Chains A and B, each alone.
Chain A
């Protein structure tokens, strides 16, 4: 059920753009982890991908470099899933107050 709900959400945001971003994020993950990953919106970054805190930091910095933005620490702390991450990147890219 949750999956469907997430998909609906993504679609209203424009599915094409989001899946492109998911592919970009997957590529950054693969760089940090050194292995292929398959991501869905629901993928939990720490639990499902087995990242430790250093891995998360390197990953977040990779995301920041790629999208040319900084994710403030309180915002990083709120990110659990790939969908959370995509929303944070979207918000910061559009300059939306968070």
Chain B
């Protein structure tokens, strides 16, 4: 019995996976070759689970900018901007993000996780009301616990349930902040943002959208779900990350709020952690410029996403509600999910195994994320591997099998 014995239930769940010869938390790449290929156990493997939506991790310009900035400004800032100052790159990146979103203000954090911790714990405090979608990302839940606001959870993607809960607060003092995500990271479903915006207007609440998975993915110019849904005016705060479509690491928040600068002196997850190193900032600035200059990337991404989603659906796999770069295949149970995942890996396909408690509705999922950098051949190869493993596991019903054979 050690101090960690309190987590024995997690140990048992993990051991159950290990018993199937599956260790999803210890996948060790021998090498990463490109945004879409790595080497695992000596085998070249298609990467179809890395959130590398625009495939910019190996972009020539991004790498050059990172190298240049590292040579001229060093490997790190060795402290927070409060203590060690703001480098030119930090201010430049903030200006370019604000410009991209057409907002007055932007603030950069060291990760998207910290952006949510910082923003959620600072925007609302004691006596305020924080309204969270039940399927919110861990960083949103953790941010809600860092602050002192009363936290109320509404049913996933359900504006009526949110409305009902806001109505119950009528007459009570305090600000209300609604938090939703652009694309939900497990099932790839989007928030009904128009309807949420309507509820926000009706009730006088503030609205924050976490566009972690939708930046560079949705919207005419890649600004995310708020742009696609045509409700940017109603969104008071947008939070996002550099760690997915922009291929680096870091988080941000943008807003037109006139007091936004206050966040930089009250937000502890901003003030008490080291700022991003020059190389990361430089590659992120370049990636954002590339995102803006090359809408082709978004079109390639959606072409691949639709091809994968349609292909899996045609084989009879149960996928999420809409074709997005996140494609989730629901498995009948955890054992099947684990074995399926392992066989995909052995066949040269890397995806994410997502099991409770990390998944909504306690489902066991095979979670795939598509990149603009995948070739059509890679998507087709992934579909072939899925069909093959599905067949071996007796997973596809006999009449579906014929369809799968046609892929």
Interface size of A by Cβ–Cβ distance < 8 Å?
11
Give the residues from 132 to 158 in chain B that come closer than 8 angstroms, CB to CB, to chain A: 134, 144, 150-153, 155
Number of residue pairs across A and B with beta carbons under 8 Å?
A: 25
Residues in B neighbouring A10, C-beta threshold 8 A: none
Q: Contacts A69-B168, A70-B168, A73-B144 known; A53 to B357 CB distance under 8 Å?
A: yes
Q: CB within 8 A of A72: which of B134, B151, B155, B361?
A: B151
A52 to B153, CA, bound (A): 17
A74 to B356, CA, bound (A): 22
Interface residues on B, range: 10 to 19
Residue of B153, B357, B362 with most chain A CB atoms under a 10 A cut-off? B153
**B interface footprint on A31-73 (CB within 8 Å = 1, 0 otherwise):** 0000000000000000000001110010001000000111011
A64 to B151, CA, bound (A): 14
Give the residues from 163 to 211 in chain B that come closer than 8 angstroms, CB to CB, to chain A: 165, 168-169
**Shortest beta-carbon distance, B132 to chain A, in Å?**
8
A70 near B152 with CB under 8 A, answer yes
Q: CB within 8 A of B362: which of A54, A70, A73?
A: A54
Give the residues from 72 to 92 in chain A that come closer than 8 angstroms, CB to CB, to chain B: 72-74
B152 near A73 with CB under 8 A, answer yes
Residues in B neighbouring A70, C-beta threshold 8 A: 152, 165, 168-169
**Shortest beta-carbon distance, A51 to chain B, in Å?**
12
Residues in B neighbouring A57, C-beta threshold 8 A: 134, 153
Residues in A neighbouring B150, C-beta threshold 8 A: 72, 74
A64 to B311, CA, bound (A): 41
B155 near A61 with CB under 8 A, answer yes
A52 near B165 with CB under 8 A, answer no
A70 to B154, CA, bound (A): 9
**Shortest beta-carbon distance, A79 to chain B, in Å?**
14
A61 to B152, CA, bound (A): 11
A69 to B168, CA, bound (A): 7
A26 to B323, CA, bound (A): 41
A95 to B396, CA, bound (A): 54
A61 to B165, CA, bound (A): 11
A15 to B231, CA, bound (A): 52
A69 to B164, CA, bound (A): 9
Residues in A neighbouring B357, C-beta threshold 8 A: 52-53
Q: Contacts A70-B165, A70-B168 known; A52 to B362 CB distance under 8 Å?
A: yes
Q: Contacts A53-B357, A57-B134, A68-B168 known; A74 to B151 CB distance under 8 Å?
A: yes
B168 near A73 with CB under 8 A, answer no
**Shortest beta-carbon distance, A67 to chain B, in Å?**
10
Residue of B144, B151, B356, B357 with most chain A CB atoms under a 10 A cut-off? B151
Residues in B neighbouring A69, C-beta threshold 8 A: 168
Residues in A neighbouring B356, C-beta threshold 8 A: 52, 54
A74 to B151, CA, bound (A): 7
Residue of A nearest to B167 (CB): A68
Residue of B nearest to A64 (CB): B165
Residues in B neighbouring A53, C-beta threshold 8 A: 357
**Shortest beta-carbon distance, B134 to chain A, in Å?**
6
**Shortest beta-carbon distance, A18 to chain B, in Å?**
23
A72 to B361, CA, bound (A): 21
**B interface footprint on A6-36 (CB within 8 Å = 1, 0 otherwise):** 0000000000000000000000000000000
Residues in A neighbouring B165, C-beta threshold 8 A: 70
A69 to B153, CA, bound (A): 12
B151 near A73 with CB under 8 A, answer yes
Residues in A neighbouring B134, C-beta threshold 8 A: 57
A26 to B165, CA, bound (A): 23
Q: A52-B362, A54-B362, A72-B151 are in contact. List 17 more A-B contacts (CB 8 A).
A: A52-B356, A52-B357, A53-B357, A57-B134, A57-B153, A61-B155, A68-B168, A69-B168, A70-B152, A70-B169, A72-B150, A72-B152, A73-B144, A73-B151, A73-B152, A73-B153, A74-B151
Q: Can you offer 12 A-B residue contacts whose CB atoms are under 8 A?
A: A52-B362, A53-B357, A54-B356, A54-B362, A57-B134, A57-B153, A69-B168, A70-B152, A70-B168, A72-B152, A73-B151, A73-B153
Which A residues have a C-beta under 8 Å from some C-beta of B? 52-54, 57, 61, 68-70, 72-74
